Amino acid sequence: DAGVIQSPRHEVTEMGQEVTLRCKPISGHDYLFWYRQTMMRGLELLIYFNNNVPIDDSGMPEDRFSAKMPNASFSTLKIQPSEPRDSAVYFCASSLGLARNEQFFGPGTRLTVL
Amino acid sequence: DQQVKQNSPSLSVQEGRISILNCDYTNSMFDYFLWYKKYPAEGPTFLISISSIKDKNEDGRFTVFLNKSAKHLSLHIVPSQPGDSAVYFCAARDDKIIFGKGTRLHILP
């Protein structure tokens, strides 16, 4: 299994631009998570999906952030418009079930907003 | 308001000695605790976990201890090896997993 795949690995953009991060979870996993890692706040859960349905988006910082999961093998996290304070590493993770099951993380996307 | 706290941003330990990473939590509803390990430019990987009904779980060189009355858990690595140098995240679960900020462990030769 290739594991969780994220693209791009690095993204540099200018303030105000739209940014789209992509994730392919492990085949067969029914939960997908988006996290953001910063020095100040550590690893924060932004949103998670179960069977492609968003379950909890309380971690999404503001309306500029949106996430979709159109099918079981693909999810996107979009920031529009992007701001310098959005600079962080964004991780996607997937798991089989939620209770007591480990999450498998992708390698992350390092986003820099200038 | 941090529900999972790792108060030591970094820790240096001599190779072969014991590494102890600490974690405190505030939510008594957490029923499951996990430790993840992260190397640079990689995503976190699961290391070890413990249910709230236990006070100790051991897996090879890694042992996690849970003190529910103190709302404290710790990860012990014995003996520490160079490959253990990484960032370690403590996490706790109620309906979702909440991570601490991480502790960077340096194993010194």
Q: Is pLDDT at A99 greater than 80 in this prediction? A: no
Amino acid found at A20:
T
> Which residue positions in chain B have pLDDT lower than 70?
1
Contact at CB, A108 and B100, closer than 8 angstroms: no
Q: A90 is written with which tokens? A: 């964004």
For A:72-101, CB contacts with B below 8 A are 91, 93, 98-100
Token pair for B76: 């012990």
Q: What is the pLDDT of residue A19?
A: 97
Q: Does A4 touch chain B (CB under 8 A)?
A: yes
Q: How many Cβ contacts (< 8 angstroms) between chains A and B?
A: 51
Q: Which of B79, B44, B63, B19 is nearest to A95 (CA)?
A: B44
Query: What is the structure's pLDDT at B30?
Result: 92
The rounded distance, in Å, linking the Cα atoms of A68 and A7 is: 15
User: Would you say A73 and A27 are in contact if contact means Cβ atoms under 8 Å apart?
Assistant: yes
Chain A contact for B39, CB < 8 A?
A: no
| pLDDT-derived band at A61, boundaries 50, 70, 90 | confident
pLDDT at A39: 84
Q: A89, A41 in Cβ contact below 8 A? A: no
Q: Is the model's pLDDT at A100 over the cut of 80?
A: no
Whether chain B has a CB inside 8 Å of the CB on A57: the answer is: no
Which are the contacts of A29, defined by CB distance < 8 A and separation ≥ 6?
A94, A95, A96, A104
- Are the C-beta atoms of residues A94 and A33 closer than 8 Å to each other? yes
Q: Per the structure block, which two tokens stand in for B39?
A: 């190397």
Q: What is the pLDDT of residue A102?
A: 84
CA distances from A47 to A68, A114, B69, B82, B91 (A): 10, 25, 31, 35, 16
Partners of A106 on chain B (C-beta within 8 Å) are 43
Res A97: pLDDT = 82
CB A100 to CB B93 under 8 A? yes
**pLDDT value at residue A2:** 80
A45 closest CB neighbour out of B43, B96, B101: B96
> Which pLDDT score is estimated for A30?
93
Q: Do B43 and A107 touch (CB under 8 A)?
A: yes
Residue range A87-98: average pLDDT? 92
Whether residue B85 contacts residue B37, with contact meaning beta carbons closer than 8 Å, is answered with: no
Q: How confident is the model at residue A42 (pLDDT cuts 50, 70, 90)?
A: confident
Which residues 69-108 of B have a C-beta within 8 angstroms of A?
Answer: 89, 93, 95-102
pLDDT, residue A1, reads 64
pLDDT, greater one: B33 or A41: B33
**Does the bond joining A107 to the residue before it have cis omega, within 30 degrees of 0?**
no
Token pair of A73 as six digits:
């093998």
pLDDT value at residue B107 = 97
Cα nearest neighbour of A4 on chain B: B43
